[in-house]
Amino acid sequence: MQFSSKEDIEAPIDAVFAMLSEFETFERRAIRRGAEVQRSGDLRPPRVGMSWDARFVLRGKTRDLHIELTEYQPPNGMKFAASSPNLQGGFAIELMALSPRRTRVSIKVTVDPKTLAARLLLQSLRLAKKNLNKRFKLRFANFIKDMEERHSRRA
């Protein structure tokens, strides 16, 4: 299963990449939402091989997730691999400078099953793919809007 979206942001590509590389911010957001997050490796400077182990409750069950930074190419993008006991996948973020002050941010998320139960879950999600894709695009647009507001406050 795959989700993707593109949004334009009123900020230079270097500033956008720097904001996306603030991994501490993402860790704090997850912790505020009730997740346990353990980072493996040092954050300074961010580099390939950094990883996180997260534990969170989703739909009444405790879930474990391992995320690893697999590609880090300033200021063009980064890729992550993610795995859990039942699912595997990843996501890629690509940046493209449209002008000196405007950047296009693209994201692609993939999820694949490891078990029969996960295959059945993904099959049922495919039936609601249109709605899930719409929600994904809306959340990504809101995330980019928040980044744009943060950048304008800093400038």
Q: Which domain holds residue 61?
A: 2-154
For the chain, the domain total comes to 1
pLDDT digits (tens, 9 = 90+) for 118-132: 999 999 999 999 999
Q: How far apart are CA 133 and CA 43, in angstroms?
A: 32
Task: Tell me how many degrees the CA angle 109-52-118 measures, rounded to the nearest 5.
Answer: 50
Give the dihedral sign, CA 79/95/107/37. positive
Q: Give the CATH number for residue 130.
A: 3.30.530.20
pLDDT digits (tens, 9 = 90+) for 93-105: 999 999 999 999 9
Q: For the chain, first and last CA: distance in Å?
A: 39
pLDDT of residue 133: 96
Residue among 114, 113, 68 nearest 91 (CA):
68
pTM of the model: 0.92
pLDDT of residue 43: 67
**Is the pLDDT score of 12 beyond 80?**
yes
Rounded-to-10 torsion of CA 135, 96, 78, 20: -70
